[in-house]
């Protein structure tokens, strides 16, 4: 990675190319790199007709602006991040970032998955995407050097929210109370169950997730759970994860794990916020009262925390200090409101809620649980509750409906919709602009600029991509950090580990050779670490497993199916797991629709019915006829309709950047049962 970077001038800033055609520039490197991807070669790799690829490219480039929307088809691969980087390159080249009707939109799957990642569900982050300390960043000073002074400011505000009066500049705001992560350890949900199999993880607390159905290579989850001392499941149903010890065919007496089930009530029975794909935070009201003993998740967590603080109050261990120092002052009847206020943040000199990120200070006089949400509860107003219908400019912004993070900016990078003078490039679709008379940026949306009073004649007013050191979009994703006009440094952690320009590799299990890399070391993404546990993670080959399995959800069920397989009429629509295979393959293996087949991979085997369809067609890949089959993943042994879980077959190889599993491709064999 140290060899990827810009050529720097005497002023230590990237040297600007004379023109687009100069040699050794980002543009010339890109041209050379992508010239290998001719439509003919892409036809060989994908099995799509060259003419269709050409036509798609023509349609895409004849319309402007265009928006690219994506979800799992692009991400559930060991090249997932590289796939999305392709979108970045295309949309930057087309000028489609920050303009109305443009952009790259991640369609988040679970209704509140955006908030989950905002709030630090990913192991490498605290809330607000602030890096979790590792041994290399285990002091505030080292952390700041790595993450930049811009983010250090938000970290200090978070520590003030966590540790209250205890956090002062003199003790680095309590930074040293934080846990330190082993930076080279895989702490993802895959690493967790692997460590359980190895015997080093003894307990798991699983809330609102059903990994015993939804993780790839399920045997690993099961065997890991069997070796744990205890498992706590907090869910609205007693799902497969909670009753893993009752899996059909297993003897519960052989499994010593103690399981505690905490009954949560559903989202209908509690209030709180939800954040959608466009970062819009909306308040939901509570409906009916919780059933039986079930409680809102926040109430369960609140009770557990008070018990923990009580248990640890006399501890003299340094590692327990964080529990003793944590502030936790939520009222019983206003718990969620109090939490949202803490997240929003306070001016500690006046005790008032802050109204936006701009009010947060670097000196310990303000607090904010998560900087990106600062302002959601400001101005004496609970903005997630707003339902304003106004849409000035008729641009679909609805600025008074809920509240979008950060600072209610709906279209990120919207400065890019203006020219160098701050005027809209497309006057018919204006969204923000520099108002010279008022001396400020204005618009139908909140302008995404560092400082609204700094006009286009200042360095600040010329940076549409203010989160990068260079202030422009990154076609070439290399490290670069510099002082921004606001005097702060931004971190450079956006560099994908597998390359500054996207590259194609075959999936870890593939029936064909990577025609771009005859060198066998790069058959699949060379940065992928797989197998991690060779005795448990065999890579299947096409001799044994000749067909490609892909999987996804179905309209009639939701993810692991816990909720939907408990709804009778949905079970009437789809009541069991199945495999969809094409007619040609069906003839080859002598199978008709409705026949039972055995589907096997290097990890497991399950028996399901076959569904033979015309739409599932073989593809010609590198000159060979290749069959693909499809399965839904929403089945397990609990609920009103049951079936074997598809994920006993899938591969737990992970993308090297974000640890996304390769659900969309693995090798299987299918025979008539
Ligand atoms: N009814 C219902 N709705 C749901 C869900 C559910 O379970 N049930 N789940 C929700 C969740 S959590 C999510 S994440 C979303 C997922 O929503 P989607 O991402 O739409 O779901 P998938 O069907 O997994 O994948 C989309 C498409 O990707 C294609 N694909 C596979 N591999 C590739 C590839 O290499 N390249 C390209 N270009 N395409 C490929 C597949 O053929 C498939 O049609 O759905 C959400 N909505
Ligand atoms: N083979 C294959 N596997 C896949 C995928 C694929 O395409 N192919 N897709 C993957 C994707 S995109 C996703 S998002 C995952 C989903 O994986 P999971 O998150 O494991 O699946 P869900 O069914 O959404 O699990 C949610 C659990 O939360 C519970 N729950 C619902 N509401 C509440 C609540 O308010 N409080 C609490 N405490 N619990 C609640 C539900 O009962 C359920 O048990 O699956 C992944 N697995
Ligand atoms: Mo998802």
Helical residues (DSSP H) of 210-262, grouped into ranges: 211-214, 218-227
Cα Rg of the chain, angstroms: 27
Q: Which residue minimizes the CA distance to atom 9 of ligand 2?
A: 552
CA of 553 to the centre of ligand 3 (A): 9
Judge if the beta carbon of residue 73 lies within 6 A of ligand 1: yes
Q: What is the pLDDT of residues 303-325, one digit of tens each?
A: 999 999 999 999 999 999 999 99
Residue 190's H or E segment, with its range, is: helix 189-198
For 85-94, 370-379, 451-460, 468-477, which range has the lowest pLDDT when averaged over its residues?
Answer: 468-477
For 82-86, 368-372, 481-485, 594-598, which range has the lowest pLDDT when averaged over its residues?
Answer: 481-485
Whether 426 has a pLDDT exceeding 60, the answer reads yes
> Which residues have CB under 6 Å of ligand 2?
72, 76, 109-110, 207-211, 214, 234-237, 239, 264, 266-267, 297, 551-552, 558-560, 562-563, 633, 646-647, 650, 663
Q: What is the pLDDT of residues 546-558, one digit of tens each?
A: 999 999 999 999 9
3-state class (DSSP) for residue 181: strand
Whether 353 has a pLDDT exceeding 60, the answer reads yes
Residue 489 near residue 643 (C-beta atoms within 8 A): no
Find the helix packing angle between 297-312 and 335-344, rounded to 10°: 80
Q: Is the dihedral of CA 607, 605, 610, 556 positive or negative?
A: positive
User: Which of 133, 122, 187, 186 lies closest to 158 in space, CA to CA?
Assistant: 133
3-state class (DSSP) for residue 75: helix
Q: Which residue minimizes the CA distance to atom 22 of ligand 1?
A: 552
Q: How confident is the model at residue 479 (pLDDT cuts 50, 70, 90)?
A: confident
Structure confidence at residue 491 (pLDDT): 65
Residue 30 near residue 501 (C-beta atoms within 8 A): yes
Whether 328 has a pLDDT exceeding 80, the answer reads yes
CA of 498 to the centre of ligand 3 (A): 24
User: Which of 385, 449, 462, 354 lies closest to 411 in space, CA to CA?
Assistant: 449
Structure confidence at residue 507 (pLDDT): 98
Conformation bin of residue 259: beta by default, left when phi > 0, alpha when psi is -120 to 50:
beta
Residue 596 near residue 607 (C-beta atoms within 8 A): yes
Q: Give the 3-state DSSP-derived string for 445-488, with helices as H, strands as E and coil as C.
A: CCCCCCCCCCCCCCCHHHCCCCCCCCCCCCCCCCCCCCECCCCC
Q: List the Cα angle 545/547/551 in 5-degree steps.
A: 110
Please state the rounded mean pLDDT for residues 332-358. 95
Q: Please give the backbone phi and psi of residue 383, each rounded to the nearest 5 degrees, phi first.
A: -75, -20
Q: Is the dihedral of CA 367, 368, 371, 376 positive or negative?
A: negative
Specify the ligand 2 atom closest to the Cα of 267: 35
CA of 477 to the centre of ligand 1 (A): 27
Write 447-450 long-range contacts (CB < 8 A, 24+): 447/409, 447/414, 447/415, 448/98, 448/409, 448/411, 448/412, 448/413, 448/414, 448/415, 449/415, 450/484, 450/485, 450/486
For 184-188, 492-496, 518-522, which range has the lowest pLDDT when averaged over its residues?
Answer: 492-496
Would you give the DSSP letter of residue 387? B
d(CA 565, CA 571): 6
d(CA 625, CA 618): 6
Residue 139 near residue 175 (C-beta atoms within 8 A): yes
Q: Which residue minimizes the CA distance to atom 31 of ligand 1?
A: 73
CA of 70 to the centre of ligand 1 (A): 9
Q: Which residue minimizes the CA distance to atom 47 of ligand 1?
A: 109
CA of 406 to the centre of ligand 3 (A): 23
- Under 8 Å CB-to-CB from 226, ≥6 apart: which residues? 244, 245, 254, 255, 257
- Under 8 Å CB-to-CB from 636, ≥6 apart: which residues? 210, 212, 213, 239, 240, 560, 561, 562, 565, 642, 643, 645
Judge if the beta carbon of residue 170 lies within 6 A of ligand 1: no
Specify the ligand 1 atom closest to the Cα of 557: 8
Please state the rounded mean pLDDT for residues 225-244. 98
Distance of CA 387 to the CA centre of its chain: 28
Specify the ligand 1 atom closest to the Cα of 630: 42
Ligand 2: which of 72, 214, 639 to mutate, judged by most atoms within 8 Å of the beta carbon? 214
Structure confidence at residue 478 (pLDDT): 83
Judge if the beta carbon of residue 559 lies within 6 A of ligand 1: yes
Whether 27 has a pLDDT exceeding 80, the answer reads yes
Q: Which residue minimizes the CA distance to atom 6 of ligand 2?
A: 552
3-state class (DSSP) for residue 163: helix
Specify the ligand 2 atom closest to the Cα of 270: 35
| CA distance readout (Å), 168 to 149, 161, 366, 657 | 17, 12, 11, 35
**70, β-bridge pairs:** 106
CA of 76 to the centre of ligand 1 (A): 9
Structure token digits, residue 45 = 């790799």
Structure confidence at residue 460 (pLDDT): 86
CA of 108 to the centre of ligand 2 (A): 13
CA of 64 to the centre of ligand 3 (A): 30
Please state the rounded mean pLDDT for residues 110-131. 94
Judge if the beta carbon of residue 550 lies within 6 A of ligand 1: yes
Q: DSSP for 475-526?
A: SS------B-TTS-B---TT--TT-SS----B-SS-SS--TT--SGGGSB-T
| CA distance readout (Å), 327 to 125, 160, 324, 340, 414 | 20, 9, 8, 15, 38
The percentage of the chain sitting over the pLDDT mark of 90, rounded to a whole number, equals 88
The percentage of the chain sitting over the pLDDT mark of 70, rounded to a whole number, equals 100
Specify the ligand 1 atom closest to the Cα of 665: 32
Specify the ligand 1 atom closest to the Cα of 634: 7
- Exposed, middle or buried, 286 (CB in 10 Å: 0-12/13-18/19+)? middle
d(CA 558, CA 544): 32
Ligand 2: which of 560, 577, 660 to mutate, judged by most atoms within 8 Å of the beta carbon? 560
Q: What is the pLDDT of residues 136-175, one digit of tens each?
A: 999 999 999 989 999 999 999 999 999 999 999 999 999 9
User: Which of 150, 147, 198, 141 lies closest to 172 in space, CA to CA?
Assistant: 141
d(CA 294, CA 235): 9
Residue 201 near residue 192 (C-beta atoms within 8 A): yes
Closest ligand, as measured to the CA of 664:
1
Q: Which residue minimizes the CA distance to atom 7 of ligand 2?
A: 552
**550, β-bridge pairs:** 630
Structure confidence at residue 520 (pLDDT): 76
Structure token digits, residue 147 = 């993450």
Whether 372 has a pLDDT exceeding 60, the answer reads yes
User: Which of 182, 154, 178, 156 lies closest to 167 in space, CA to CA?
Assistant: 156
Q: What is the pLDDT of residues 280-308, one digit of tens each?
A: 999 999 999 999 999 999 999 999 999 99
Give me the chain's average pLDDT, please.
95
Structure token digits, residue 486 = 């606001």
- Under 8 Å CB-to-CB from 252, ≥6 apart: which residues? 245, 246
Structure token digits, residue 661 = 């599993």
Please state the rounded mean pLDDT for residues 57-77. 95
Closest ligand, as measured to the CA of 663:
2
Looking at per-residue confidence, does 11 or 666 come out higher?
Answer: 666
Neighbours of 33 (CB within 10 A): 15
d(CA 509, CA 511): 7
Ligand 2: which of 122, 208, 558 to mutate, judged by most atoms within 8 Å of the beta carbon? 208
CA of 238 to the centre of ligand 3 (A): 21
d(CA 88, CA 502): 10
Q: Please give the backbone phi and psi of residue 496, each rounded to the nearest 5 degrees, phi first.
A: -65, 140
CA of 317 to the centre of ligand 2 (A): 37
Whether 463 has a pLDDT exceeding 90, the answer reads no
Closest ligand, as measured to the CA of 662:
2
Closest ligand, as measured to the CA of 638:
2
3-state class (DSSP) for residue 230: strand
């Amino acid at each position: 990675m140290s060899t990827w970077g810009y050529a720097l001038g005497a002023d230590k800033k990237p040297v600007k190319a004379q023109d687009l055609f100069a040699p050794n520039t980002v543009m010339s490197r890109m041209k050379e790199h992508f010239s290998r991807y001719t439509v003919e070669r892409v036809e060989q790799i994908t099995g799509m007709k060259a003419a269709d690829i050409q036509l798609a490219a023509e349609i895409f480039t004849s319309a402007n602006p265009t928006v690219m929307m994506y979800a799992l088809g692009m991400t559930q691969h060991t090249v997932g991040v590289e796939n999305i980087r392709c979108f970045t390159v295309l949309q930057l080249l087309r000028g489609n970032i920050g303009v109305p009707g443009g952009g790259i939109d991640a369609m988040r799957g679970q209704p509140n998955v955006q908030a989950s990642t905002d709030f630090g569900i990913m192991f490498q982050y605290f809330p607000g995407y602030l890096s979790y300390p590792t041994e290399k960043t285990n002091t505030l000073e080292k952390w700041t050097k790595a993450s930049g002074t811009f983010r250090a400011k938000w970290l200090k505000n978070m520590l003030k929210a966590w540790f209250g009066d205890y956090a002062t500049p003199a003790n680095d705001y309590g930074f040293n109370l934080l846990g330190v992560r082993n930076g080279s350890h895989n702490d993802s949900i895959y690493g967790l169950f692997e460590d359980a199999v190895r015997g080093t993880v003894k307990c798991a607390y699983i809330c609102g997730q059903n990994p015993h159905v939804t993780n790839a290579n399920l045997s690993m989850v099961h065997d890991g759970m069997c070796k744990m001392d205890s498992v706590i499941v907090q869910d609205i149903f007693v799902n497969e994860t909670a009753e893993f010890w009752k899996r059909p065919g297993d003897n519960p007496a052989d499994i010593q794990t103690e399981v505690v089930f905490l009954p949560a009530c559903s989202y209908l029975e509690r209030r709180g916020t939800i954040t959608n794909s466009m970062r819009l935070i909306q308040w939901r009201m509570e409906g009916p009262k919780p059933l039986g003993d079930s409680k809102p998740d926040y109430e369960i967590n609140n009770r557990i925390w008070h018990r923990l603080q009580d248990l640890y109050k006399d501890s003299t261990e340094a590692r327990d200090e964080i529990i003793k120092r944590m502030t936790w002052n939520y009222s019983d009847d206003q718990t969620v409101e109090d939490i949202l206020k803490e997240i929003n943040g306070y001016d500690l000199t006046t005790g008032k809620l802050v109204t936006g990120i701009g009010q947060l200070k670097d000196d310990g006089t303000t607090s904010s649980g998560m900087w990106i949400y600062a302002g959601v509860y400001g101005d004496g107003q609970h903005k997630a509750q707003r339902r304003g219908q106004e849409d000035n400019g008729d641009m679909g912004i609805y600025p008074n409906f809920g509240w979008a993070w950060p600072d209610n900016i709906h279209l990120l990078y919207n400065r890019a919709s203006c020219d160098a003078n701050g005027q809209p490039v497309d006057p018919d679709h204006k969204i923000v602009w520099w108002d010279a008379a008022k001396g400020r940026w204005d618009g139908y949306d909140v302008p995404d600029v560092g400082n609204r009073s700094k006009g286009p004649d200042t360095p600040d007013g010329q940076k549409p991509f203010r989160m990068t050191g260079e202030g422009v979009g990154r076609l070439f994703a290399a490290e670069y950090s510099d002082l921004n006009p606001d005097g702060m440094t931004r971190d450079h952690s956006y560099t994908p580990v597998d390359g500054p320009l996207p590259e194609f590799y075959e999936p870890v299990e593939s029936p064909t050779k990577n025609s771009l890399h005859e060198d066998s070391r790069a058959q699949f993404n060379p940065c992928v670490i797989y197998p991690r546990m060779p005795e448990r993670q065999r890579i299947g080959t096409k001799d044994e497993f000749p067909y490609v399995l892909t999987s996804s959800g179905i309209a009639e069920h939701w993810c692991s199916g816990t909720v939907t397989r408990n709804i009778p009429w949905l079970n009437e629509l789809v009541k069991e797991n199945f495999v969809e295979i094409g007619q040609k393959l069906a003839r080859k293996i002598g199978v008709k629709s409705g026949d039972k087949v055995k589907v096997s991979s290097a990890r497991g085997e399950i028996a399901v019915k076959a569904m033979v369809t015309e739409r599932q067609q073989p593809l010609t890949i590198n000159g060979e006829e290749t069959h693909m089959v499809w399965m839904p993943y929403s089945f397990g042994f609990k609920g009103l309709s049951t079936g074997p879980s598809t994920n006993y077959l899938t591969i737990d190889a992970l993308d090297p950047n974000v640890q996304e599993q390769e659900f969309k491709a693995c090798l299987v064999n299918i025979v008539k049962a």
